Chain A
Amino acid sequence: MIDPAPPRVRAGTGMSGLKDAFEAGKAAATEAMDPLAGESPALVMVFATPRYDLPALLAGVRSVTGTALLVGSTGSGEIIKGEYLGFGGGVGVLAMTSGPYRFAAASAGEISGDLDKAGRTLARASRAQAGSSPYAAALLITDSLLGDLQQFVQGVYRITGPKVAIVGGAAGDEQQFVQSSIFHDDAVLHMGALVLWIASDRPLKVVTRHGWDPIGAPLLVTRAEGTEIAELGGRSAAAVYEDQLGLTSTLAPEAFWATSILHPFGLLQPDGRHVIRVARSKTERGTLMIHGCVPSVGSAVQVMGGSVDSLLGVTDEVVDDALDSQPDAAVLLTFSCAARAMIFGERAPEEARHLQASAGAVPTFGFYCCAEFARTAGVLGTHNATLTAVAL
């Protein structure tokens, strides 16, 4: 007896730059629904500029998609089937049928305190709704302002274990760092997080690449507090960082970001790879503020360097690796870093184009985040200035 082929996923993407939020949501959703050929969507994903009236935007989307599960967030640019929407660009919508998957989401707003516990709670709740399955993926969308996002990832990992892929990104507000928003059905959540559980009969593979190379010697983190690296090798972290770059004078705090975005830290991994951490600013005390996840005391970091070409160069590998693991994929979900888009500058649209060119007929969809989630080995699953993807 031959096993019946698993039901195929139908997926469509749409985008709109209309100024009216409701109409923009409606237009993007209408375009996304078209390839579903009349089937109802099981999942709707929305990534948008924070400049919209967001409840109206979601109402516009849901006026087309109905009550199908909706997840998403504001970000710092969107990736929709080869198109790049920059700051204030509009909204991107993905609509997909369930095919062999089951989707369920759990979310919470106004999270404060124990992010590990929040991760556990939302992972447990979303898994319970989705039901058991041989494999799964947990797609995380968190507010980038929550604090140490690795705590949230590790909480989720305590529930999932290694058989469940962890992927996603942190919502942003076009680099204002004031207020990000997460979408769950028709709710707009602030200081929140969401776990989308994707129950699957086959393994789902998370892929991650960054394109950065070390340019400095490994440095020991000797003091880190909260969201700051205070000391490297027993000296002021900012002074050591500037030494590593060979600067003859210290960087003014207001000029720091322009340099640090081009030279993030690489957290040295056992296999020689690096997990990227971007220092967001320099304090008057000579400490470095890290956005999202600070390397622990005792970690080794290296100052990294790269170019627009080296960073764009990883897109083919990411797409190939993701699609190789899922030959009949209906969509490639991508989470790239807002810092990458800033580095690309005028060439920012190239990343979306490269991704789609590599993916061929499989539509690509995603957004530019303030931290990317991708657990591939061990518990560490939070990245900066990195491109991650999963094929469904």
Chain B
Amino acid sequence: MRYGGPERRLARDAALAEYRTAIRDTTRLNRLFAILSEPAPLAILVDRVLLALSEMFAADIVALLQPSGAGDLLLLGAIGLPEELAGRPISGLEDGYAAVAINDRGPVLVESALGDPKIDSQFAELGVETATWLPVLGSQEVLGVLVLARCQPVPFTRSDADMLMAMTYRIGLVVERARADEAGRRLDARLRQAEKVESLGRMAAAIAHHFNNKLTAVMGSLELALDDLAAGRDVRVEIANAQEATRQASTVSQLMLSYLGQSFQAREVLDLVATCREALPDVVRSLPPTVRLRTEFPDAALTVRASEVEIRQVLSNLLLNAGEAIDTGEGKIVLSIREVPASQIVPSPLLSPGWTPKASSYACLEILDNGSGMDAQLLGNAFDPFFTTKFTGRGLGLPVVLGVVRAHHGTVTVDSEPGRGSTFRVFLPLTVSTPENRKPE
């Protein structure tokens, strides 16, 4: 068919209009999908979607509502609904258009909303003249209702509603996925909380048990001393026993404070390499004689701001722990110190959740053993106070390491496998040694 003058113009105008519509619809969908594919929390995604819908459909009000379960609707987000109105409950679930959209699982178009009793009071107060309600469908249920409203007499078209239904389906999928993620996170958090409560309970019971033992010893010694005094006997042995039990209780208290990072030991700029070298002879004497210790220390100093007492304690606890892990006689421990850029540290979510480096470089104190190693469950408990697999020991060695390192703004990582030994790494922030920062804190 060939067009003459006016026909040709009409055909061209129609084709151009169709092209514009196609571009408009494509851009609307593209924009929405671009927003929904961004990695952001649900509340932020919802806000961005509502802003985009307001702009794309020239809607003065856009609101996303969700059934509350109590017969009304909760506002998940809104644009154009002033704060004083957004705070009021929306009751459209009983006899409003939201209920119709939910029940019919399809869009509701209202061309003339003025004076319509089914329009919620918030929208009526704002002078809404035309609006559309759309169910937000999930895979199993209706998740909510999307409302777009205009305060001018420019009704939404069937084509707008079709486009919006396609959009709400996509929004529904994202909402559903976000809710599932949120539910998973809540479950994880509850699990972590339960584990923490269990761990705290175990710790409290252990502390109570430990101190009860010591107090019993003190009281027993003092009772004996009183009896001896009454009988005119020498009481020095009983008093010394009571003193020893008190000293032991005090040591545990000190270790608990170290675990909690509250030991208040003075810190100064020190060379980690030199400190470890000096401390090593005393520790080595406590290791089983069948264990060979090899050291790999750098020539240059690695300065950290730390408490020398606590660094010695960390070194001693880790070496003794490695020595005890070698229960088959012949064993090997490698102690090394080196500088590591912060970017190469992979913090343990178990030991240092949320830890981020504060310095650009760290000193890494690494202790590798070929002992019995640990499975995941054992590793999960190894740093809990009073948890020990050994017959002897208080179960405070590794917790104290963790507490001290945390208090020094560092982190601890462990690689371990049953039968293949363990590698403990302690990372402490490096500092630049200057005369000023050598002063104790």
Contact = CB atoms under 8 A, between A and B. Distances in A.
B54 A218 contact: no
Nearest to B52: A296
Nearest to B127: A163
Nearest to A233: B23
B31 A270 contact: no
B169 interface: no
A159 interface: yes
Given A158-B79, A297-B34, A378 B23 contact: no
Chain B interface, DSSP helix/strand/loop, else mixed: helix
Interface string A320-343: 000000000000000000000000
A268 B27 CA distance: 10
A268 B55 CA distance: 11
Contacts of B152: 377
A377 B60 contact: yes
A387 interface: no
Contacts of B60: 161-162, 377-378
A268 B54 contact: no
Contact of B20 (A218, A377, A378): A218
A161 B20 contact: no
Contact of B24 (A162, A218, A378): A218
Contact of A379 (B28, B80, B85): B80
B93 interface: no
A269 B58 CA distance: 7
Nearest to A273: B58
Contacts of A161: 60-61, 80-82, 85, 126
A300 B58 contact: no
B65 to A, nearest CB: 17
B211 to A, nearest CB: 52
Interface string B326-345: 00000000000000000000
Contact of B23 (A159, A220, A377): A220
Contact of B80 (A162, A220, A270, A297): A162
Nearest to A301: B27
Interface string A252-290: 000000000000000011111000000000000000000
B151 interface: yes
B24 A300 contact: yes
Given A271-B154, A377-B152, A379-B79, A300 B19 contact: no
A221 B34 CA distance: 12
A270 B59 CA distance: 10
A299 B27 CA distance: 6
Interface string B38-62: 0000000000000110111111110
B345 to A, nearest CB: 31
A277 B34 CA distance: 22
B32 A298 contact: yes
A157 B80 contact: yes
A158 to B, nearest CB: 7
B27 A300 contact: yes
B79 A296 contact: no
A57 B22 CA distance: 54
Contacts of A30: none
Interface in A109-157: 154, 157
B150 interface: yes
Chain A residues touching B, range = 20 to 34
A159 B83 contact: yes
Chain B residues touching A, range = 20 to 34
B26 A270 contact: no
A307 to B, nearest CB: 22
A220 B151 CA distance: 28
B79 A157 contact: yes
Contacts of B127: 162-163
B30 interface: yes
A160 interface: yes
A271 B85 CA distance: 28
Nearest to B26: A220
Contact of B58 (A163, A217, A378): A378
B23 A160 contact: no
A270 B58 contact: yes
Contacts of A108: none
Contacts of B23: 218, 220, 268, 300
B82 A159 contact: yes
A379 B54 contact: yes
A377 B60 CA distance: 6
A217 B151 contact: no
Nearest to B81: A161
Interface in B55-88: 55-61, 79-83, 85
B58 A162 contact: no
A243 B19 CA distance: 19
A271 B130 CA distance: 15
Nearest to B79: A379
Contacts of A68: none
Given A299-B31, A379-B51, A270 B79 contact: no
A270 B156 CA distance: 10
Interface in A67-126: none
Given A218-B19, A218-B20, A377 B150 contact: yes
B79 to A, nearest CB: 6
A380 interface: yes
Contact of B30 (A157, A270, A298, A380): A298
B291 to A, nearest CB: 58
Contact of A270 (B24, B61, B81): B24
A320 to B, nearest CB: 18
Contacts of B82: 159-161, 163
A159 B26 CA distance: 31
Contacts of B32: 298
Please provide the 10 A-B residue pairs with the shortest distance between their CB atoms, ordered closest to farther: A298-B31, A162-B60, A161-B82, A377-B58, A379-B54, A378-B58, A298-B30, A218-B23, A300-B27, A162-B151
Interface of A: 154, 157-163, 217-218, 220-221, 268-272, 296-300, 377-380
Given A158-B83, A162-B60, A163-B82, 7 more contacts: A157-B80, A161-B82, A161-B85, A218-B19, A218-B24, A220-B26, A379-B80
26 contacts: A154-B51, A158-B80, A158-B83, A159-B82, A160-B82, A161-B82, A161-B126, A162-B60, A162-B80, A163-B126, A217-B19, A218-B19, A220-B23, A221-B27, A270-B24, A270-B56, A271-B154, A297-B31, A298-B27, A298-B34, A298-B52, A377-B150, A377-B154, A378-B54, A378-B55, A378-B60
Interface of B: 19-20, 23-24, 26-28, 30-32, 34, 51-52, 54-61, 79-83, 85, 126-127, 150-152, 154, 160
